[in-house]
Amino acid sequence: MASTVSAFLSGLHRNWTMLNPPAPPKEQNALKFGILGAANIAPMAFISPAQSHPGVIIYAVAARDKTRATAFAKKHSIPVVKDSYDDLLNDPEIDAIYNPLPCGLHFEWTVKALAKGKHVLLEKPSTSNVQEAETLFRHPLLSQSAKPPVLMEAFHSRFTAAFHLFLTTLDQPNISEAFAVSPIPKFIAADDNIRYDYSIAGGSILDLGTYPVSALREAFGAEPTECTEANLVPMAAPRERCDHSFDATFKFPNGGIGKIHGSLRTPVTELGFSNITVKHRPVPAPEEEDAKKEGTQVTRTRTVIFYNFMLSNHYHRIDVTDEFEVTRDSSVVKRYTRKDFKKAYTFEEMGKDANSNPYWSTYRFMLEQFVNRIHGIEGSGKFISHEDSISQARALDMIYTKSGLGPRPNSKYWTENH
């Protein structure tokens, strides 16, 4: 009972501090960031994490409506408001850009930022489709100099100690099935929300489905070879080209099956954590005592469930269940189960030498590694590579193609320049 109360109080303190992080003095060489747009995601995904990072200063913001940008800057203590996106990119004081614009604008303003020599932390999904992703992440601007700007897709969920720990529990070649679920309540996005604007790559697959698809790819450690099934629920007219809920199935190179389910219309009564369940094929377990007996074989079948993989540092649990079967002379003589429950809110908890803090949000873990990458520091070793982002976009396009809705359209800027 005492341990339960202690864990509960620790969780409350961790989450309170996550929402009210300390503000250490900024380093002399801190990177100055500019924010493109006054997006609703920016406070949680970037402004709050930056507050606790000594190497990051939020220097400026720009929005299509300067009045809105001014109000946003005042609310979040951002010292400089620019007249336009171009004005922001032209400021030599700015080292890096955070781009949380609607997906259909990602390609244009990321290319323009890279052309100005700015590092870019790009909100997911990175682009409208794989064609844009290939153009962006293989752009000459990213390879034409000895020290090109850093571009990274902001897949915050994959940077935490918990996600690292989850991956250590998997035997990737022997995964038989993985199922990832991501529910979001209906009140988050009304029917007229920009998430359902087809012209700027709207739809639940890109907005929400990108999380479970990414989780599957990480779990298998491989890219899907085919999307065998895709059932998307479209919005009512005139937004019928955008989906609000999804189910999809992938094949992976090892013969395993990956499935996703999610909705931006989940009833409050059916809400739960984002979970991924990973099942393995039976494999020999020679380390077991029974296996050391002559004529006896032992197999292990593992199931791993990672609860709350999207926002794991608020709360998570990793359940590992191993089912053993002992056979002798082709007959089953014994079965038994071994269960383990794991968690890690810092890298120290999982025995990894990398900077972290229990009050860090998933976004703060990500920001740490983005800044590390700019400075050439290894840190936790995690980085969303350019080819990773291309593969992610390709998997998302597979779903839209299989569903019949088709991939999201290229942006006007991409079309005019290619």
SS3 279: strand
Instruction: Say which amino acid occupies 62.
Output: A
Residue 412 token pair: 């006007």
Closest CA to 159 of 360, 348, 14: 360
Closest CA to 324 of 338, 307, 311: 338
| Residue 401 burial (10 A CB sphere; 0-12, 13-18, 19+) | middle
Rounded to the nearest 5 degrees, what angle is found at the Cα of 261, between the Cα atoms of 397 and 410? 20
pLDDT at 4 over 80: no
Mean predicted confidence (pLDDT) in 37-48: 95
Q: What is the pLDDT of residue 119?
A: 98
pLDDT at 3 over 70: no
Distances from the Cα of 83 to the Cα of 67, 87, 90, 162, 302, angstroms: 10, 6, 11, 41, 56
**What is the model's pTM?**
0.95
Q: How far apart are CA 405 and CA 397, in angstroms?
A: 10
pLDDT tens-digit readout, 358-392: 999 999 999 999 999 999 999 999 999 999 999 99
Which listed residue (82, 112, 118, 124) is catalytic?
124
Closest CA to 370 of 2, 45, 41: 45
SS3 189: coil
| Residue 382 annotated to the active site | no
pLDDT at 7 over 80: no
CB 404 within 8 A of CB 229: no
Question: What share of the chain in percent tops pLDDT 90?
Answer: 90
pLDDT tens-digit readout, 76-127: 999 999 999 999 999 999 999 999 999 999 999 999 999 999 999 999 999 9
All domains of the chain, ordered by start, with CATH? 19-156+409-416 (3.40.50.720), 157-347+390-403 (3.30.360.10)
Round the average pLDDT of the chain to a whole number and report it: 96
β-strand partners of 306: 276, 318
Q: How far apart are CA 222 and CA 363, in angstroms?
A: 24
Higher pLDDT: 89 or 189? It is: 89
Residue 217 token pair: 């790819």
